Homo-oligomer: A and B are copies of this chain.
Amino acid sequence: MQSRTPASRTGRPRSAAADTAILAATRQALVELGWSRLTLGDVATRAGVAKTTLYRRWAGKPELVVDAVAELFDELELPDRGSLAADIEGVVLQFAAILARPEARSGLMAVVAESTRDEALRERIRASIVDRQKRLVLEGRARAEARGELPPPAGPAEAARSADLIFDVVAGAVVHRTLVSAEPADEEWVRGFTRVLLGGLGAASA
């Protein structure tokens, strides 16, 4: 979350309940108002805290929304479904379910847009949202290699490159489908996507 100062052991501690109330209020405001109409004063009122308390903990709207949205991705996991295809379909459907929620739709793209001009914000997004997703890619590939479904990478550099590539393809496709094309990434779509991802374009219409 925000920058902890572990050296401060004296004085009144920050209310942990206020943190959760503020983040929940932020998500609710995202649902009802969207990113642009969301104001920090309104969030403070919803959470039952003073506006100044909010500014003492977060630098601004983007930082607050990143933390509020990041909690949505806590539920992401990668259960072993027995095959690479089934693993991919499972995790993509989870990701799609999160992106189907209005608080994720309005919040996520907005903070990414803001991060194009704010290096610190991009790092915050990477640490609290992106890295958690990317770990699933590495896990899934390791499993597929163990099953003999994928050849081991040529070396560590090549392994990192291809993991980054696969991550951009998977996450990018789901995000684009959901937010730009504005169509649901439902089971049928995910099946088609997995087929292309595993077999390439020639297998698209099989």
Contacts and interface: CB of A to CB of B under 8 A. Distances in A.
Interface in A77-125: 84, 102, 105-106, 108-110, 112-117, 122, 125
B110 A162 contact: no
A153 interface: yes
Contact of A112 (B161, B179, B183): B179
Given A173-B173, A200-B197, A180 B112 contact: yes
B205 A197 contact: no
Contacts of A108: 113
A97 B181 CA distance: 22
B193 A169 contact: yes
Contacts of A35: 113-114, 117
Interface string A9-50: 000000000000000000000000011100000000000000
Contacts of A132: none
How big is chain A's contact interface, by range?
35 or more
Contacts of A112: 109, 113, 179-180
Contacts of A34: 114, 116-117
A105 B109 CA distance: 12
A199 B196 contact: no
Nearest to A31: B117
